[in-house]
Structure 1
Amino acid sequence: MTALLELKDLTVTYRTGSGDVDAVRGVSLKLEPGDTLGVAGESGSGKSTVAMSVLRLLPRSAKITGEILLDGEDVTTMKWGRLRAVRWGEASVVFQGAMHALNPVRRIGEQIAEPLRIHATVPEPQIKARVADLLRQVDLPASRAGAYPHELSGGQKQRVMIAMALACGPRLIIADEPTTALDVIVQAQVLNLLGKLVAEQGIGLIMISHDLSVLASTCARTAVMYDGELVEQRPSAELMASPEHPHTQALAAAFPTVGDPVSRYAPATSTPLPPEPDRERGTEALLSAQDVRVTFKDRTGARINAVAGVSLDVHRDEIVALVGQSGSGKTTLARTLLGLQQPTSGTVRYRGEPMPSTAAGLKAYRRHVQLVLQDPTSALNPRHSVYEAVAEGPRIHGVGDERAVVTRALEAAELRPAEKFFARLPHELSGGQRQRVVIAGALALDPGVIVADEPVASLDASVRGEILALLLRLRRELGLAGLVITHDLGLAWNIADRVAVMYRGELVEVGTVEEVLLDPKHNYTKSLLAALPGGVSVRTAVD
């Protein structure tokens, strides 16, 4: 039987101003009808280049050699008319980042109908019914066809992308990071949906991700890429249980299993941290929220309680993980604690003193409570050097001996020697180095509390562990308090001392990491843990 897709010695070379770059070298893969294949690797490993080459969606600067056989027909030799018919009709792509892939000014139904009009022979009177059927296939009501993208949640937008991919009845779907930036429950829903479609319709699925646990929960086989080459390919369960290649081992270690004592206070890093020392948590609450409420009004005038009576303390020398789904109120609470959002009622205190309400008072307050943003690329001005980026805060607050302050902050963020990085621009840094610069900018003002919003969500697996280890070192060595906002329970298990679970604007469970993640009391916490693609380890720290 002819394979649905077969890659034979695929090599992709990009022509650049400084010479040719081999992005993919000698990759061979095979996918049968109804089969599922995961492709794992970090940014730059070549995994997305492999996926996009299947439908020749690469830029003109790319040169493809080798064979790409789709149902036995070589895609590399197809003429434009045939290639246009193959796209959407025989193979389609679920692109990464549904928020950016959907047109913000067109209704959902129109966007799903577009491939039907261009690539299929569906009569115009039947298109509306076909769109409604596609929405039902991805578990969305047909009434959502009239909605705009901004009126949908992240998970709903991702379902719309899947509906578009299914529109012309393809036999192969390529899903490029389909769960990136989705919380754990929505991620589980999207993965279950893809699994159901494969089972019911016999579709072949290639899923690209840097998270091995996501691939293992959906794909029968997983292939791991590193530096443009295929370094390991085995059944997913076998590969997760005993990875052989060092890069596969690093990817597996980067996403710890909740409940595994080996990864408690031990992020995957090139320089392992010493064991967590015995200590008693301080009783002084550096930052506290007392019955904080934040209320907004929607377009109809109805009141929405984004934060509904939250009380939470963050002590010196501890990291608190604030976890919950998108829309649970985590970010609104964090903005309120930073003085960026005025609470409707309740009090925010730092070292027992109420948060000031004047501009001058807030300026002084924010020197003590600093923010680390999620995406370092967006957080840094591309025209400012590292020195300028870190020096901005000290200049605003009039901190003396600027050069010494910047040097100390960069070295605390483990960018050493600091002088080596002073003149560099953001594009000359790796993703991990950019995030360290953002952290250095916060440290430059010698704060007592750092509020980190998804600090590793946009980073590669190998870099993720290094940044988490840095946050732990800062807590241990400087006594910093940290409030880490995340939907990643593995991160909480990795570095947090306590966990606060937020649901519909309320804190439904607060306690030590072991109490909340190993013995949850609230049904919502249990549902978060049940949705983890890697599950929860049966071992506990006591064992």
Structure 2
Amino acid sequence: MTSTSSTTTPLLELRGLTVRYGGRSGLLAVDGVDLSLRAGETLGLAGESGCGKSTLAMSVLRLLPKSAQIEGEILLDGEDITQMSFGRLRTVRWASASVVFQGAMHALNPVKRIGEQIAEPIRLHGTVPAGHVKSRVRELLEQVELPVARADAYPHELSGGQKQRVMIAMALACEPRLVIADEPTTALDVIVQAQVLALLSRLVADHGIGLIMISHDLSVLGATCARLAVMYAGKLVEEGPSRQVIGEPKHEHTKALAAAFPTIGDPSSRYAPATSSELGLPGAPEPVAEGVEPLLRTDNLRVTFTGRGQTTEAVKGVDLEVYPGEIVALVGQSGSGKTTLARTILGLQKPTSGQVLFEGKALPHSARALRAYRRKVQLVLQDPTSALNPRHTVYEAIAEGLRIHKLPGDERELVAQALEAAELRPPERFMTVLPHELSGGQRQRVVIAGALALAPTLLVADEPVASLDASVRGEILALLLRLRASLGLAALVITHDLGLAWNIADRVAVMYKGELVEVGTVAEVLRDPKHEYTKQLLAALPDGTALPAGEVTA
């Protein structure tokens, strides 16, 4: 990586930065932070939601809401951003410093082609003559390793990794000296994540830009950034070289972040996700007894989509089994077919051929029989915020399923039992609360409680912790383990997170291009992979998150 002499002026320097929302008596989001970054350096900013890291980053370009009050100095190339006029600030944005926003699908305009969106900041700032804008767009697409032809595509026609590359191209459009990347790999599978991280590292090395990367995942930051700064409750609690901060954390919060993502191959994290909960963990389950029939089975399942003169085989002859009380992790990168497989298992997508069997019986076709089936097989969605109606209280969210399925018993008592099972205690405290008044982890527990209210025997969980903070991730995974132990629940967990599989799964099924290419116990698949694609998934993990194949710690 390119670096500059220690005698040069920092590219960015924060001096006593303090940010409040709502006046002097309001929320103190950033509390007296001192931080600096030189051109060619990479700085990782770590911490959980609400710690102030995004507020700090957005304050650099004064992208905060009007309710935010900034104190202290923000020096960009020696010039204080807090004292800039709006006209000067408009010139600085994109041209001197730019942002890669979290959630590329939401940050991109869905009705504009990719090429137009990349060209927009170039035209606004006039960084190249009007006749050269298209050639500059082509140059940027090549820089972020996207086919030039994708300039004519709309955002929905791109994969998650491609959309993230478009965001990076936009950030680089006016050749800024500072780039701030806010959770640039959230919800990306490990292979695409590795590609995006490698791209960012190469751009820093090639162009000597300063990079600030924000994440709650220390392993992701450690793979890209030379230095790490950890925030907690608005303060900077630890700073230093990445290897030192991750390998020898000093602050308790840094230790919790470092422990939240397991090392694949470390037996101490098997059935023991890092969690702040004081509730005990049940440990390893009893093996499935011989002769027990699968709770769920797919038999040579195929799903084919046709349209625009094209035929796509999303699921190709899949045979998958989930036994009573078993947790199976279905892993694979975006586009592998795992979500289509899950939708077919839930009866939301008709198979082209083959069948789904539950408790030995084929998936029904009538609306009434499907309703009864879905009471026993419940879906837990990835994004709890989207899954919950913002106008419905927690009570209404959980009671809705009880009313649809007309379950007998006292409704309020059943809702309370579901909240208790999801460890939202005391239940009465949460019944009248609206979703926006809950934390991310609490919202996910409400979604799980809604499923538990119907007393299912199988949960189909689609990326259940992808959008959650590190410690909350551990709590939700620990909850799934306790539910398996207390209720005998089986689960099919769809994920791109191999650490999740190592934490809680009994078996792993690896999906690639619509096929199950490898199925076996967690140890067999993740410690001694046979298929080349499984080896690629493990090789794409950030350094330090997996032991060499076959090796375990003492």
Q: Which band: TM-score by shorter chain?
A: over 0.9
1:7 matched to 2:18 = no
Residue pairs, 1:198-347, within 5 angstroms: 198-270=204-276, 271=278, 273-274=280-281, 276-277=283-284, 279-282=286-289, 283-299=292-308, 301-347=309-355
1:272 and 1:438 map into 2 onto residues whose CA distance is 20
Work out which of the residue numbers 43, 46, 71 in structure 1 matches 2:49: 43
Structure 1 position 361 matched with structure 2 position 369: yes
C-alpha contact (below 8 Å) 2:265/2:553 kept by paired residues: no
Q: State the shift of 1:56 in Å.
A: 1.1
- In 1, the alpha carbon distance for the partners of 2:427 and 2:285 equals 32
Query: What's the offset of the Cα at 1:195?
Result: 0.2
Deviation, 1:130, is: 0.9
Query: Partner of 2:437 in structure 1?
Result: 428
Distance across 2 between alignment mates of 1:257 and 1:126? 49
State how 1:190-205 maps to structure 2 within 5 Å. Answer: 190-205=196-211
Please report how far the alpha carbon of residue 98 of structure 1 lies from its aligned counterpart in structure 2 after TM superposition.
0.9
The code of the aligned residue for 2:319 comes to S
What is the CA-CA distance between 1:540 and the residue it aligns to?
A: 4.4
AA aligned opposite 1:510 = V
Q: What is the SS of the residue equivalent to 1:256?
A: coil
Instruction: Describe the SS at the equivalent of 1:89.
Output: coil
1:526-537 superposed matches below 5 A = 526-534=535-543, 535-537=545-547
Contact 1:7 1:29 in 2 (8 A): yes
Which of 371, 380, 385 in structure 2 is aligned with 1:372?
380
Return the alpha-carbon distance in structure 2 between the equivalents of residues 460 and 278 of structure 1. Answer: 27
**In the alignment, is the contact (CA less than 8 A) between 2:222 and 2:246 conserved in 1?**
yes
Q: Any idea what the Cα deviations from partners look like across 1:458-496, whole Å, max 9, x if unmatched?
A: 111111111100000111121111000000000100100
* Contact 2:20 2:29 (8 Å CA) reproduced: yes
Which amino acid counterpart does residue 507 of structure 1 have in structure 2?
L
The amino acid of 1:100's aligned partner reads H
Q: Quick one: structure 1 residues 361 and 232, their matched pair in 2 at CA, closer, same or farther if it must change by over 3 Å?
A: same
Tell me the amino acid that sits aligned with residue 519 of structure 1. Answer: D
Q: Structure 2 vs 1, CA of residues 288 and 142 (structure 1 numbering), >3 Å: closer, same or farther?
A: same
Equivalent in the alignment of 2:170: 164
1:147 equivalent in alignment to 2:157: no
Amino acid at match of 2:533: Y
Question: 1:421 aligns to what SS in structure 2?
Answer: helix
Q: 1:141 to 1:274 in 2, by over 3 A?
A: closer
Distance apart, 1:413 and its partner CA: 0.9
Query: Is the 2:281–2:482 Cα contact (8 Å) retained in structure 1?
Result: no
Stretch deviating more after TM superposition (29-38 or 283-292): 283-292
Aligned to 1:95: 101
- C-alpha contact 2:216 2:257 (8 A) present in aligned 1: yes
| 1:313 partner amino acid | E
Contact 1:426–1:434 (8 Å) recurs in 2: yes
Q: Deviations over 1:369-389 (max 9, x none)?
A: 111111111111122222221
The CA deviation at 1:278 is 5.7
Describe the SS at the equivalent of 2:141: helix
Structure 1 residue matching 2:315: 3-state secondary structure: strand
Structure 1: runs of 5+ lacking an equivalent: none
The answer to whether the 8 A contact 2:302-2:313 is kept is yes
Contact residue 266 and residue 272 of structure 1 kept, 8 A: no
What residue number does 2:529 align with? 520
Higher mean alpha-carbon deviation, 275-284 vs 205-214, is at 275-284
1:322-362 alpha-carbon deviations (Å, 9 max, x no partner)? 00001111111001111111111111011101111111110
| Deviating more after overlay: 20-29 vs 76-85 | 76-85
SS of the residue 2:119 aligns to:
helix
With 360-369 and 277-286 compared, the bigger mean Cα shift is at 277-286
- Give the conservation status (yes or no) of the 8 Å contact 1:290–1:346: yes
**Structure 1 residues 277 and 520, CA, compared in 2 at 3 Å: closer, same or farther?**
closer
Q: Is the 8 A contact 2:281 2:478 kept in 1?
A: no
Q: Give the residue type in structure 2 aligned to 1:222.
A: L
Cα distance in 2 for residues equivalent to 1:501 and 1:522: 9
Q: Which moved more, 1:461-470 or 1:282-291?
A: 282-291
Q: Aligned partners of 2:205, 2:476: CA distance in 1, in Å? A: 39
Deviation readout 1:155-197 (Å, 9 max, x if unpaired): 1111111111111111111111111111111010000000000
Q: Does 1:348 align with 2:356?
A: yes
- SS of 1:387's equivalent in the other structure is helix
CA distance in 2, matches of 1:184, 1:63: 38
Q: Find the aligned partners of 2:281 and 2:367 in 1 and give their Cα distance.
A: 43
Q: What residue identity is the alignment partner of 2:360?
A: G
Q: Measure, in 2, the Cα distance between the counterparts of 1:180 and 1:298.
A: 31
Question: Greater shift after overlay, 527-536 or 178-187?
Answer: 527-536
Output the amino acid matched with 2:286: R
Which residue identity does 1:530 align to in structure 2? A
Structure 2 unpaired stretches of 5+: 1-7
Contact kept, 8 Å, 1:38 with 1:207, in 2: the verdict is yes
1:15 and 1:420, CA in 2 relative to 1: closer, same or farther beyond 3 A? closer
Task: Give distance in 2, aligned partners of 1:407 and 1:541.
Answer: 43
- Look up the SS of the partner of 2:431 in the other structure: coil
Does residue 441 of structure 1 match 2:447? no
- Paired residue total: 541
Q: Given that residues 266 and 273 in structure 1 are in contact (C-alpha distance below 8 angstroms), is that contact kept between their aligned partners in structure 2?
A: no
Contact kept, 8 Å, 2:225 with 2:242, in 1: the verdict is yes
Question: What secondary structure sits across from 2:375 in the alignment?
Answer: helix
Q: Secondary structure at the match of 1:88?
A: coil
Task: For 1:418 and 1:540, locate their aligned partners in 2 and report how far apart those are by CA, in whole Å.
Answer: 44
State the 1:78 CA deviation.
1.4
Q: CA RMSD in A?
A: 1.4
**How many Å separate the matches in 1 of 2:359 and 2:281?**
30
How far apart are residue 19 of structure 1 and its match?
4.2
**Compared CA separation, residues 542 and 209, structure 1 to 2 (3 A):** closer
Deviation digits for residues 106-140 of structure 1 (CA, Å, limit 9, x no counterpart): 11111111111111331111111111111111111
Which amino acid in the other structure matches residue 316 of structure 2? A
- Is 2:91 aligned against 1:85? yes
Q: TM-score, with normalisation over the residues of structure 2?
A: 0.95
Q: What's the CA shift string for 1:72-101, capped at 9, x where partnerless?
A: 111111122222221111111111111111
Contact 2:382 2:465 in 1 (8 A): yes
Specify the SS of the correspondent of 1:114: helix
Please state whether the residue corresponding to 1:325 is helix, strand or coil: coil
Contact persistence 1:261–1:540 (CA under 8 A): no
Q: Please tell me the residue identity of whatever aligns with 2:302.
A: R
CA distance in structure 1 between the aligned counterparts of 2:88 and 2:439, rounded to whole angstroms: 40
Structure 1 residue 500 corresponds to structure 2 residue 509: yes
Distance in 2 (alpha carbons) for counterparts of 1:477 and 1:352 = 24
Do the aligned partners of 2:43 and 2:211 also contact (CA within 8 Å) in 1? yes
Q: 1:274 to 1:442 in 2, by over 3 A?
A: closer
The answer to whether the Cα contact below 8 Å between 1:294 and 1:307 also exists between their aligned partners in 2 is yes
- Taking the aligned partners of 1:429 and 1:142, their CA distance within structure 2 comes to 43
Deviation at 1:275, TM superposition (A): 5.8
